[in-house]
Amino acid sequence: MIRFENVTKTYPRSTRPALDDVSLEVERGQFVFVVGPSGSGKSTMLRLVIREEPTTSGSVLVAGHDLGLLAPRKVPRLRRQIGTVFQDFRLLPNKTVGQNVAFALQVLGKPNRVIKHVVPETLELVGLEGKGRRMPHELSGGEQQRVAIARAVVNKPAILLADEPTGNLDPVTSLDIVRLLASINANGTTVLMATHDNVIVDEFRRRVIELADGKVMRDEAQGSYVPRPDVPARPVPTELDENDLWTPPETWADDVVRGED
Ligand SMILES: Nc1ncnc2c1ncn2[C@@H]1O[C@H](COP(=O)(O)OP(=O)(O)OP(=O)(O)O)[C@@H](O)[C@H]1O
């Protein structure tokens, strides 16, 4: 689903690369924690997947398509298949919860009759049924993050990128939010989550990719936040067992290439 081939990213006016010769593959349906110290390249990795930034060298492939070769007019179609969630929620403060989620569909030109059904369904999925008319400031931090997640998944993306989604939340709310992400993942969406939250990573025991100075230091299935010699982690299998794969919500590889023009 996502493949990095010898990817180096050096930002303009920067002397050292933010990502340095990174090669890895994330299979469809996986849930991956990306960990590492501040400045190790976690957000950069997510930005490259959505082609917010170009690579300096190497290739990022999403569903088999090299993002470096994707025509600019096809980038919006790529992004439609990728939901994003951030630490600071990024809700529209002057719109209700329902309007925030609906907006994500309106910009895609979805008809109102579809929006009317899908928005309440999605709010229910994230545990916010009945709260569609509230304003964001009338919600707790955890509820605001649920709105952001609803907005990110309302179009049933194949991939969900979460950059420190629990960074502003207390430990209990953080666990709830990651449980929600895990349930979205169980329905077929591939999830990449950058995090500093050791409790969460140790609780969920999913694949862990650890970065340091832009390099992959560790890549383990069912890993922990820091290497734990007392708990042997399985190395990431090169070929996944069929049981590890979920059915994707939709196939979209051809869509990305063809576009709707
Ligand atoms: N737009 C930019 N221009 C120049 N340098 C940047 C830019 N964005 C990030 N960097 C640099 O790239 C490196 C990696 O940054 P990145 O934000 O990917 O790290 P991170 O692991 O996500 O950090 P944090 O945990 O603090 O969010 C850092 O040295 C950072 O200063």
Q: Is 205 left (phi over 0), alpha (psi -120 to 50) or beta?
A: left
Question: Which of 7, 43, 88, 211 to mutate for ligand 1's pocket (most ligand atoms within 8 Å of CB)?
Answer: 43
Q: How far is the CA of 39 from the centre of ligand 1 (A)?
A: 5
Q: How far is the CA of 18 from the centre of ligand 1 (A)?
A: 6
CB 141 within 8 A of CB 168: yes
Ligand 1 atom at minimal distance to the Cα of residue 214: 14
Ligand 1 atom at minimal distance to the Cα of residue 13: 4
pLDDT of amino acid 69: 94
Ligand 1, atom 28, lies closest to the CA of 39
CB 221 within 8 A of CB 30: no
State the DSSP code for 137.
G
Q: Is the CB of 36 under 6 A from ligand 1?
A: yes
Rounded Cα distance between 156 and 169, Å, is: 25
Rounded Cα distance between 249 and 62, Å, is: 16
Ligand 1 atom at minimal distance to the Cα of residue 16: 29
Token pair, residue 95, equals: 């719109």
Per-residue pLDDT 10s for the chain (261 aa) are: 999 999 999 999 999 999 999 999 999 999 999 999 999 999 999 999 999 999 999 999 998 889 999 999 999 889 999 999 999 999 999 999 999 999 999 999 999 999 999 999 999 999 999 999 999 999 999 999 999 999 999 999 999 999 999 999 999 999 999 999 999 999 999 999 999 999 999 999 999 999 999 999 999 999 999 887 666 666 665 544 444 333 334 434 444 434 443
Q: How far is the CA of 176 from the centre of ligand 1 (A)?
A: 28
pLDDT of amino acid 63: 87
pLDDT of amino acid 233: 65
Q: Is the CB of 41 under 6 A from ligand 1?
A: yes
3-state secondary structure of 201: helix
Q: How far is the CA of 19 from the centre of ligand 1 (A)?
A: 9
The type of residue at 54 is: P
3-state secondary structure of 20: strand
Q: How far is the CA of 201 from the centre of ligand 1 (A)?
A: 21
Question: Which of 15, 40, 166 to mutate for ligand 1's pocket (most ligand atoms within 8 Å of CB)?
Answer: 40
The answer, as to whether pTM is greater than 0.95, is no
What is the ipTM for the molecules in this complex? 0.98
Rounded Cα distance between 164 and 154, Å, is: 20
CB 7 within 8 A of CB 222: no
